Amino acid sequence: MNTTLRRLASVVMVMFLALMVSTTWIQFFHADELNSDTRNIRSIYAEYGRARGPIVVGGEAVALSKPVDDEFGYQREYTNGKLYSPLTGFFSLANGTTAIEHAENDYLNGQADALWVDRLQNLLTGRDPEGSSVELTVDPKAQKAAWDALGDQRGAVVALDPKTGAILAMVSKPSFDPNDLASHSTKEASEAYTKLLNNDDDPLVSRATATSYPPGSTFKLVTTATALESGDYTPDTVIDAPSTYTLTGTKTQVGNFAGTSCASAGEMTLADALRISCNTAFLGLGGDLGADALDEQSEKFGYGSGYDIPFRTAASQYDADPDSMNTAQVELSGIGQGSVTATPLQVAMVSAAIANGGEVMQPYSVDTVRDPQLEVVRETSPQSLGNAVSEKTASQLTDMMKSVVESGSGTSAQISGVTVAGKTGTAQHGDNSQPPHVWFTGFAPAEDPQVAVAVVVENGGDLGASATGGSVSAPIAKAVMEAVLNG
């Protein structure tokens, strides 16, 4: 019987081998597919049952997971939901994740490859796994100042550290409270989401990074930069500044703000044209410079691509197809109208680049990621995206922007004791029946810039049709810059 016993032992080996293969098949080769099966609620349980790391601003958690006694174990809470939602985004059982909650998910839930040592320790010690904390670059005072100054108006504020690209403030209004979406009741969360989605004011969309507006006169900075970089212009170059400008090949006449003429002589220096934001001068300048030069210069400032800050932003655009623009369109683009669109982040990046001697910095909102033992796992180092303009051009632009705030269209951004450089914008949109979107962008202090800012207020804000960038947006920018400088 020993022969048959040995054969039986071989049969047993084959049986066990089959079990090992089938187990390996499920647990190793097939695991990803099974884990992503929609009927597999454990990935959701796992995600929502973890002690997810907090999102920290200025040493305080603005998003954190608190233990609760329900089937999941942890509830995500946002301490100042509406204020920070353009950055934090939401973490919702029913609606998924957005913004930082989405982009930093692997670190927040502790599953990032870089955290394997932590996970190994957890496995060996039986310690509960915890997510890493994500610390933002945001200055809570600047954020609060921007929120308060914007008031009930629709719009957005972005403030950057021009030297690093770090985002100091990012506000969008109207905003939403991510707490409503974080409810573990799928019904409640879905209803809240549907309500926000159907809201005409689009509170779910971050106006700071996801909405592209016509940049209006703030784009004159790009036009001026193009002119100075061409070598054919200096700030003192005298250019045509008629009281009205007929777009080439059309009968459309474009005037200046409130129908005033820029200069009695019908011409003025480039510096003066920027200071008072003379439309007719920049229409002609835009046409003279041409679509290619403007497109190229705008891309150097960052137009044409989105940024991972770490969540993806919308790309700003000079024109979808600059080669097929007619002269009238090119002329209009010189004053930031027509086909030009920009996010508030992009407008702030232009000011930041000028403030930073022409060097464009990659914008970012995550400063450090720390594991539960507070060890730094990841730290963002500032990254250059190249030079948009020469240092000389940057300094010339800075001087011109200083005079905008000193004696031009942006005087209400003045801060006592601090030299502020800036540019206003009053952008028409749609069929012109609605009040303009009003802008201000700038930086301070001009001689050693600490903060660059962009403010947009939709449809003139509280002032409506009579609003200008100088009257509505400049004071908001001032408040934000003050908050950073006094911080």
Partner 1 sequence: MSAAVETPAARQVEPTERRPARLAELFLLILALAAGIGAFAMVGRSVTGELPGEFWPVSLLLTAIGVAAHVVLRLRAPWADQVILPAVVLLNGLGLAMILRLELAGMQGADAWSQMMYTALGAVIAILVVWFLRDHRWIRKLTYTAMLVGLGLVVLPLLPVIGREINGARIWVNIAGFSLQPAEFAKIAFAIFFAGYLVTNRDTLALAGKKVLGLQLPRIRDLGPIIIVWAASLAVLVFERDLGTSLLFFGLFVAMLYLATERFSWVLIGLVLFAAGALVAASVFPHVGARMDVWLHPFDNELYNAAGGSYQIVQGTFALAAGGLFGTGWGEGYPYLVPYAFSDFIYSSLGEELGLTGLLAILLTYLLIVQRGLRTAVAVRDGFGKLLAGGLAFVMALQLFVVVGGITRIIPLTGLTLPFMAQGGSSLLANWIVIALLLRISDNARRPSALPMRGTVAQGGPMHDPIVVGAADGSTPGAGTPAAGTPVRRSAAAVGDVSGRDGGQPTEAIDPATGRPRGGEHL
Binding stretches for partner 1 (CB under 8 A):
1-6, 8-9, 11-13, 15-16, 18-20, 22-28, 30-31, 33-35, 37, 39-43, 45-46, 49, 122-123, 126, 128-129
Q: Which tokens in the block code for residue 319?
A: 């024109």
Nearer to partner 1, 18 or 465 (CB): 18
Q: Which of 54, 55, 60 is nearest to 141 (CA)?
A: 60
Dist. CA 235–CA 134, nearest whole Å:
45
- The answer to whether the bond into 436 is cis (omega within 30° of 0) is no
Cα distance between residue 159 and residue 363, in whole Å: 10
Please state, as a whole number, how many other Cβ atoms lie within 10 Å of the Cβ of residue 435.
20
* CB-CB contact of 97 with 311 (8 Å): no
Q: Which residues contact 102 (CB under 8 A, 6 or more apart)?
A: 89, 96, 311
Q: Three-state SS string across 101-152, please?
A: HHHCHHHHCCCCHHHHHHHHHHHHHCCCCECCEEEECCCHHHHHHHHHHHCC
Taking the complex as a whole, the smallest distance from the CB of residue 72 to partner 1 amounts, in Å, to 10
Cβ atoms within 10 Å, residue 180: 18
Question: Looking at beta carbons only, is 39 or 187 nearer to partner 1?
Answer: 39
Strand-pair category, 55-57 with 133-136: parallel
Q: Decide: 476 and 461 in contact? Cβ < 8 Å.
A: no
Q: Between residues 20 and 117, which has the closer beta carbon with respect to partner 1?
A: 20
- Whether the Cβ atoms of residue 233 and residue 227 lie closer than 8 Å to each other: yes
Residue 485 tokens read as 């400088």
Give me the amino acid identity at 424: T
Residue 217 is among the residues annotated as catalytic for this protein: yes
Closest CB to partner 1 among residues 43, 466: 43
- Minimum distance from CB of 446 to partner 1 (Å)? 56
Q: d(Cα 466, Cα 450) in Å, to the nearest integer?
A: 32
Nearer to partner 1, 79 or 111 (CB): 111
Report, in Å, the least distance between residue 84 CB and partner 1. 30
- Eight-state DSSP code of residue 322: G
Closest to partner 1 by CB, 7 or 392: 7
Active-site residue among 85, 133, 175, 217? Answer: 217
Q: How far apart are CA 261 and CA 279, in angstroms?
A: 10
Complex with partner 1: residue 38 or 381, whichever CB lies closer: 38
CB closer to partner 1 out of 132 and 209: 132
CB of 375 to partner 1, least distance (A): 21
Smallest CA-to-CA distance from 378 within 84, 104, 29, 44 is with 104
Burial 141-157 (b: 16+ CB within 10 A, else e): bbbbbbbebbeebbbbb
C-alpha distances out from residue 407 to 335, 396, 424, 441, 461, Å: 20, 17, 12, 16, 24
**What is the C-alpha separation between 98 and 103, in angstroms, rounded?**
7
Task: State yes or no: cis peptide before 475, omega within 30 of 0.
Answer: no
**Residues tagged active-site:** 217
